[in-house]
A and B are shown apart, each in its own frame.
Chain A
Amino acid sequence: MKLPMMGVINLIHEADEMEALTANRCLATVPFGGRYRLIDFTLSSMVNSGIPKVAVFAHRKFRSLMDHLGSGSNWDLHRKQSGLFVLPPSMEDQTDFGKGDLYHFYRNRDYFYRSPLDYVVISRSHMVCNVDFVKVLDQHRETGADITVVCKNAPEGMPGLARKAKVNGAGRIVEMQDHFGRLDSNIVSMEMYVLSKDLLLDLVETSLAQGRDHFVRHSILSRLNQLQVNAYLHEGVLGVVNNIAAYYQHSMELLRPEVWKELFFQPGSIYTKVKDEPPTHYRNGADVTNSLVANGCDIEGEVHNSILFRGVKVARGAVVRNSIVMQNGVISENGSLENCILDKEVEIRASQQLKGSIEMPFIALKRKVI
């Protein structure tokens, strides 16, 4: 069913402390879970919920993003009408890069105007989750809120940088702070905001007219008294993945079957760009336990508690432990890895040993030969 809602995946000024992993790509296309990119989770959630039109506001380092999204066909967003819109930063001069997201929304206001859909969801790309926006919109309409923010109750705390919110008994957000604030609350904002298109356009214009250009800070945080901003509590898995510790920890969480069963299948499947890799070949002598392995790998050595992306080679005698090896990585004979994150196409030479710690995994840059 078509949902009367359009999607915005907002990549403008995303909080990014991913070090080497975002040296040449935006946060949205950081590889995750053996075969996905971070943006796949939000994008698939939108598509599975029946959102027919999604705009991705690109900002910096978006070559990998264009490559990944293509025509949107992998998400069934290659439509004659609506579908996927990748909107590159609209700039007249270099200083426009520094301007906030409201400025870019304003410059692309035709995207919003040219659609009969009444609601908008504005999200980021780094929330690893599987959300049903039908339920979010239902609650939004039932409560008559001006804005509904998808949140997660996380009593145990969680890694990653996220805003915290204080919610009153009626479900209204009475206070919200950036991740560095001292607000004492277990409610974490998932940076997904549902509101009517008219309100959004109104907020864009009035905020910009006041010389303020950040959607969350200027349009929402400063108006918590005037607007009814409610929280929608997401029940499923959530990973806030915007720093290395969070990336590593959430990746390792995937090795718990109950986590991936929910994340990859409930309520819908997560889609990604199709690659024509053959099935993975486990050779005689391979010893693999408690690992997620994508297609196209060739494994002769040992792999434990690890995540292998597509096309990884683990040669005879090599050992991979508690590590993440991205696409086309090569671990040569007798090489060993422990607590490492290897970016795409890293080659570990024969008998080379690399070891990081669980708190501080060793990170190898793309195409590095070690």
Chain B
Amino acid sequence: MRKNECIAMLLAGGEGRRLGVLTKDLAKPAVHFGGKYRIIDFTLSNCVHSGIETVGVLTQYQPLELTQHLGIGTPWGLDRREGGMHVLPPYVRQKGGSWYKGTANAIYQNLGFIERYDPEYVLIISGDHIYKMNYDLLLDAHKKNEADATIAVISVPWAEASRFGILSVDEEGRVVEFAEKPKKPTSNLASMGVYMFSWPVLKEALIRDEANRASSNDFGKDIIPTMLAEEARLFSYQFDDYWKDVGTIDSLWEANMDLLEDKPSLKLNDRSWRIFSASPNQPAQYIAPTAKVQGSLINEGCVIEGRVNRSVLFHGARVGEGSIVEDSILMPGAIIGKDAKVIRAIVGEGAIVGEGCEVGSVEAEDIAVVGSGETIRPLAELKEAEPV
């Protein structure tokens, strides 16, 4: 890919309300995933592997931890003298400023940034999906079709189709119909929220959309339907690999569990497509004589003295002697005391489950969640603490 032929704009402002206590103090793209990563690492790594070396990261809600993680892009090799990664928060201008109103408005507010690089194509992606995709192939398809915009799509189960933006395409792959979260879907091709635009087309569409007061300034709700109505050359690009929106507790838990399969559909151990992340710099994990670890992913700095089954443990997590951790996720630095039971649960960063405590159960329908920094204390200890 020629330098700056294509630049990426990564939408990373997501509030992540549906992740509850896990996003209390951080933006959704900064949520931990897969034992060592954060969700945004996947899209950033995709950019680098696809040869995209200029990435604008649009931040908004709770950006502290996210921007700290991003730094100047060093872990992804995006600390470049020219191009590289740029964090783009909303800011106040002379004529007043505003928060990013919608996805399209967020890009509109950064037209100046894009113009600085004057690319031929702009890739719009979001920082809250887990997948490995070569955007260069998407660009190839876009060029071949002489498209104005190309939307990456994935086949989803018919039953779930109404949760997504659904496209209908003709035999050439040209989009003929687009419906955001339709009640009666006519197709099961869902938009992945990955758009390749020819820059002049996008620029014009964004300026017109901004001028339209009725618009909600969103790609899925406004830009794409308008382009379709005006018979722009909109094409689909079929993606057949692993892709998951990890916006809810259930899907976050499921996507982590997917990694534990014998032959996981998302391979983390693929040397040709490493997922890069900031390194926690911890020593090798220690598995004690009393430990038993099965079907799990364990990261550096963990100390395991109990039993761990079908679980994902982030760096520095500890499991005390006699404890059982099953079908669970322990975020960085989570500590499970002795003789505790953690089943079907997500234990937040630095949270403590005290000696003998139980979190979650096999029967429970919902995944139990312990928020970051919270402490679960044993019953006896609570009683002692109560005033007489």
Task: Report which A residues bind B (CB closer than 8 A).
Answer: 33-35, 73, 255, 257, 260, 264, 269-272, 274, 276, 278-296, 298, 303, 307-308
* Smallest CB separation, A85 vs chain B (Å): 22
B-side contacts of A264, CB under 8 Å? 283
A283 to B291, CA, bound (A): 14
* Smallest CB separation, A293 vs chain B (Å): 5
Chain A binder among B16-24, B106-114, B292-300, B380-388: B292-300
B275 at interface, CB cutoff 8 A: yes
Task: Report which B residues bind A (CB closer than 8 A).
Answer: 34-36, 74-75, 260, 262, 268-269, 274-277, 279, 281-300, 303, 308, 312-313
A303 to B284, CA, bound (A): 15
CB pair B295–A296 under 8 Å, yes or no, is: no
| Contacts known (A257-B303, A276-B277, A295-B299); A286 close to B284, Cβ less than 8 A | no
Our pick among B269, B283, B296, B313 for the contact of A270 (Cβ within 8 Å) is B283
* Smallest CB separation, B318 vs chain A (Å): 11
- Give me 14 other A-B pairs in contact (C-beta within 8 A), A35-B283, A278-B297 excluded: A260-B283, A276-B279, A278-B275, A279-B35, A279-B36, A279-B297, A280-B297, A280-B298, A282-B298, A283-B294, A285-B294, A292-B286, A293-B287, A296-B269
Our pick among B34, B260, B279 for the contact of A274 (Cβ within 8 Å) is B279
CB pair A282–B288 under 8 Å, yes or no, is: no
CB pair A269–B281 under 8 Å, yes or no, is: yes
CB pair B286–A298 under 8 Å, yes or no, is: no
CB pair A286–B294 under 8 Å, yes or no, is: yes
**B interface secondary structure, majority:** loop
A175 to B137, CA, bound (A): 71
| Contacts known (A280-B298, A283-B295, A285-B294); A294 close to B289, Cβ less than 8 A | no
Our pick among B74, B260, B269, B290 for the contact of A278 (Cβ within 8 Å) is B269
| Contacts known (A280-B297, A281-B297, A283-B262); A288 close to B36, Cβ less than 8 A | no
CB pair A34–B283 under 8 Å, yes or no, is: yes
A283 to B300, CA, bound (A): 17
Question: Closest B-chain residue to A296, C-beta based?
Answer: B269
A-side contacts of B300, CB under 8 Å? 35, 279, 294-295
B-side contacts of A276, CB under 8 Å? 274-277, 279
CB pair B296–A257 under 8 Å, yes or no, is: no
CB pair B269–A281 under 8 Å, yes or no, is: yes
* Smallest CB separation, B72 vs chain A (Å): 12
Query: Can you spell out 9 A-B residue pairs with CB atoms less than 8 angstroms apart?
Result: A35-B283, A278-B34, A278-B35, A281-B296, A282-B295, A283-B295, A284-B295, A290-B288, A292-B283
Our pick among A255, A274, A279, A290 for the contact of B298 (Cβ within 8 Å) is A279
Question: Closest A-chain residue to B285, C-beta based?
Answer: A293
CB pair A34–B284 under 8 Å, yes or no, is: yes
CB pair A33–B294 under 8 Å, yes or no, is: no
Question: Closest B-chain residue to A305, C-beta based?
Answer: B289
CB pair B294–A282 under 8 Å, yes or no, is: yes
